[in-house]
Amino acid sequence: MIERKIDRVIFYAFLTFFIVLIGFPFFWQLSNSFKPEREIFDIKWLPEVPTWANYAAAFSRQPLFSFLMNSLIIAGFATLLALLFGSMTAYAIARTNIRGKKPLLLLILSISLLPPIVIISPIYNIMRALSLLNSHGGLIIVNMLFCLTLSVWFLTPYFNSVPTELEDSASIDGASPFQCYTTIIMPIVAPGVFTVGILAFIQAWNEYLFALVMNPIRVKTVTVGLKLYEADNYIPWGPLMAASVVIIVPLIAVVMFLQRQIIGGIMSGGLKE
Amino acid sequence: MTRKQMGYLFITPTLLIFALLAVYPVLKTIGLSFFEYRLQFGEAKSFIGFSNYYKLFSTPRFYASLRFTILFTILTVTTEVGLGLLFAQFMNMNYKGRSFLRLVVLIPWAIPTIVSGFIWRFMVNDQYGILNHIFESVGIIDSFIPWLSQPATATAVLVTADIWKTSPYISLLVLAGLQNIQRSQLEAASIDGANAVQRYFSIIFPALIPILATATLFRLIQSFKVYTIIVALTNGGPANSTESLTLYTLRTYFDAGNYGYGSALATVTFSSNGSHCTYVSAGNSKQD
């Protein structure tokens, strides 16, 4: 706590400055999404005649609703699959004495840091061979790869933190290892799995490169769709800002309601200590 | 089934996914870099040894994109780590409105890069950009300038947009480190008469070094892959001056259809990242 009054004034001045600096671009996006075009050109701080017209235009100029549905399906399924396989792997690393844990963790780390450009062309060919280009399936699989590395990395500490006694006493009572996993361990780590799921979902929702390369014709995601508002060197800023507000509303809502969990998740698993 | 057997069973799906979607593609890309393979010629491939690499190292556009990528990486990572340290210090203090700051900090992190790119592009617009408006009214510039039409200012905008998006994330990592420092240690030091600055440099900062080292390396690797923010803001322009290695490679693949040469470019990106990775894993195992 800061004691001297003058220190407190300086402190709050700095704090306000930082908050404005960080929050301003977001404020500007929101403010302009409600302005008629004339006010955008006149650079008004706040809309004088607030209008929903930009939001209507955002949905009519491009099929924004189907972009949203595509992203929801792709990010949702990629997250679910990554959590399923990721929690199994994290359990195996944290709770069993399998060999090769170190190389496995190193592999996971390397893949999570892999430049997408190194794998994009072979993956494109694999997906073409499987007829998964321009479909939800192809992007679900690719996003699952990156969500999976994130899940294992963040979930392993959660599994490590469950006391071993719980599992030991259950297996003395005759429970099989698989029963221990489903009925004892999973309920305890469920909140952690949920948090990691949020992080994975945000990552998949925001993915751009693969979404652009693999689905150029059909099944466009929100990130790819946003770029389509720009046409012939003309950018309709009002509708574009409105569309980008719509795209980030689910994310902002998640961040607001689950702020504590997300920050905890980033801080606990973000780096190995 | 023993628990060990179940462990092997449990990692099998993950290993299959990694093998098919990461290990095989990496090897395939490295392999293709030794072939002449263009979309225009159909599926025909011919082995040409290191020719793609000779071509690459004698192409000015490769050096330009490499130079831009390195410059971008250095500028963003150093600033982000510096700001991250500062923000973390703020977030770790006890005051009213702390949770509001934490919420604000999460917004840039959570929104898609392509969105933040468009917001910044709008803010630096040469006719109705708010940054021009602000800078003009406080007298930094005389008239609105086209930020994205000149290489230096375009780079500055890209770097700023990336810093805005990523510093908050770094600050959360640093915050985790700060919260691990024992309060008793700091109190002891302050009883011994150490002032805030001395406490910071003798206790806090040294305790943060491992976390900073890892965060820096992670960010170096991520920043080296820069692509999306460029697509939203400059698309590599003006005159390819903000073309990153990834953007150049992607254009070689999908615009020019030159898969052999593109693979060589990707392999160069991969190996420079590989050397970073070795550092990271070496650093990690030292800590174990």
| Span A158-206, pLDDT tens digits | 888 888 888 888 888 888 888 888 888 898 899 889 989 999 999 999 9
pLDDT at B287: 46
Facing residue for A213 by CB, picked from B93, B254, B269: B254
Residues 201-220 in B contacting A (C-alpha not used; CB under 8 Å): 210-211, 214-215, 218
Query: Is some CB atom of chain A closer than 8 A to the CB atom of B166?
Result: no
- Which residues does residue B36 pair with via DSSP β-bridges, in sequence order? B46
| A80: its two tokens | 């679910």
pLDDT digits 0-9 by tens, A63-83: 999 999 999 999 999 999 999
Facing residue for A92 by CB, picked from B10, B173, B266: B10
B119 and A123 within 8 Å at the Cβ level: the answer is no
Facing residue for A247 by CB, picked from B115, B125, B218: B115
pLDDT at A273: 34
> Quick one: which of A213, A216, A219, A218 has its CA closest to A124?
A213
Neighbours of A157 (CB within 10 A): 15
pLDDT at B271: 87
What is the percent of chain A with per-residue pLDDT over 70, rounded to a whole number? 97
Using DSSP's 3-state secondary structure scheme, residue B258 falls into strand
Q: What is the pTM of this model?
A: 0.91
- Which residues does residue B38 pair with via DSSP β-bridges, in sequence order? B258
Q: What angle do CA B92, B93, B98 make, to 5 degrees?
A: 85
Facing residue for A226 by CB, picked from B102, B110, B118: B118
A263 and B172 within 8 Å at the Cβ level: the answer is yes
User: In this structure, what DSSP letter does residue B46 have?
Assistant: E
pLDDT at A271: 47
CA-based nearest residue in chain A for residue B209: A273
B104 and A89 within 8 Å at the Cβ level: the answer is no
Residues of chain A positioned with their CB less than 8 A from the CB of B105: 22
Query: Is some CB atom of chain A closer than 8 A to the CB atom of B124?
Result: no
> Could you tell me the CA-to-CA distances from A259 to A253, A255, A264, B258 in Å, in that order?
10, 5, 8, 45
Residue from A118, A246, A252 to probe the interface with B (highest B Cβ count within 10 Å): A118
One digit per residue, the tens of pLDDT, for chain B of length 288 reads 788 889 999 999 999 999 999 999 999 999 999 998 888 777 788 899 899 999 999 999 999 999 999 999 999 999 999 999 988 888 888 777 777 888 888 889 899 999 999 999 999 998 889 999 999 988 888 888 899 999 999 999 999 999 999 998 888 888 888 888 777 777 777 777 777 788 888 888 888 888 888 888 888 988 999 999 999 999 998 999 999 999 999 999 988 889 999 999 999 998 887 666 666 556 555 444
Compute the distance between CA of residue A219 and CA of residue A215 in angstroms, rounded to an integer. 6
Calculate the average pLDDT of chain A. 89
Facing residue for B119 by CB, picked from A1, A25, A254: A25
A259 and B120 within 8 Å at the Cβ level: the answer is no
ipTM given for this complex: 0.91
